[in-house]
Amino acid sequence: ETGVTQTPRHLVMGMTNKKSLKCEQHLGHNAMYWYKQSAKKPLELMFVYNFKEQTENNSVPSRFSPECPNSSHLFLHLHTLQPEDSALYLCASSQPQGPGYGYTFGSGTRLTVV
Amino acid sequence: QKEVEQDPGPLSVPEGAIVSLNCTYSNSAFQYFMWYRQYSRKGPELLMYTYSSGNKEDGRFTAQVDKSSKYISLFIRDSQPSDSATYLCAAYNNNDMRFGAGTRLTVKP
């Protein structure tokens, strides 16, 4: 494990379901991110939290709702998703001051919307 | 136009070959350049990073940046089957990290 833990690893949900993705890091990082990874496309930044405050929302549909209760935990609440939302959802953390040590990613949640 | 362009491949080479992976970027403000490696069913992990133009070597891996042409390269010498993964380039400046689509590499024994 990299130090960033994501659960569940796999999730299949219907379009009317509500589910949540969880991310946890104990690296002492102060910034956390949600990314969407689709085949043959660049990683798509969804949300950024610095010191628990949301600093970026990259025009993400409201059916995705993030929550950051503290600097170690990050959630992504999902409701009334569409089949095109099926993808790998990655959580990452970093120190906000610079990229020298890069981002530390979790293994992701493979989401399938049916 | 995408901020960072990367050919998704796939790329297949025999063991021992020299591998060249490349990206281009459009924003001249980018100052840091990174390569991430992503194994199947795993998240990306930072492989190398460089600041501004120049080369950086780490074992069998060499990262190269040419800011004049906005070109990023990763070379893998004596490639091994364990190098089989997707390689993502990234460019960063001022809290803005942009990734390429990733190139899927297979090294055949």
Q: Identify the band that residue A99 occupies on the pLDDT scale cut at 50, 70 and 90.
A: low
Please write the tens of the pLDDT for every residue from B67-91.
Answer: 999 999 999 999 999 999 999 999 9
Residue B94 has pLDDT above 70, yes or no: yes
Task: Inform me whether the pLDDT recorded for B66 exceeds 80.
Answer: yes
Residue numbers in A near B3 (CB within 8 A): 42
User: What tokens does B54 get?
Assistant: 């120049």
Angle at alpha carbon of residue A8, lines to A3 and A11, rounded to 5°: 145
Chain A residues touching B98 at Cβ < 8 A: 42
Considering chain B, what is the average pLDDT of its residues? 93
pLDDT at A46: 95
Indicate the pLDDT class of residue B96, thresholds 50, 70 and 90: confident
Query: From CA A49, how far away is CA B48, in angstroms rounded?
Result: 25
* Exposure of A3 in the CB half-sphere (CA atoms within 13 A): 12
Average pLDDT over residues A6-11: 97
CA–CA distances in Å: residue A20 to residues A7, A65, B5, B7: 9, 9, 32, 33
State pLDDT tens for residues A34-64. Answer: 999 998 899 999 999 987 778 777 789 999 9
> What b-and-e string marks burial along B17-49, b requiring 16 or more CB atoms within 10 Å of the CB?
eebebbbbbeeeebbbbbbbbbeeebbbebbbb
> Which residues in chain B have Cβ-Cβ distances shorter than 8 Å to A106?
43
Q: Is the pLDDT of residue A88 over 70?
A: yes
Q: Inter-chain contact A107–B41, Cβ cutoff 8 Å?
A: yes
Report the residue of chain A nearest B91, measured CA to CA. Answer: A99
For A49, name the nearest residue in chain B, comparing CA atoms only.
Answer: B95
Q: What is the pLDDT of residue A89?
A: 98
User: In this predicted structure, what is the pLDDT of residue A51?
Assistant: 79
Contact B49 A96 (CB under 8 A): no
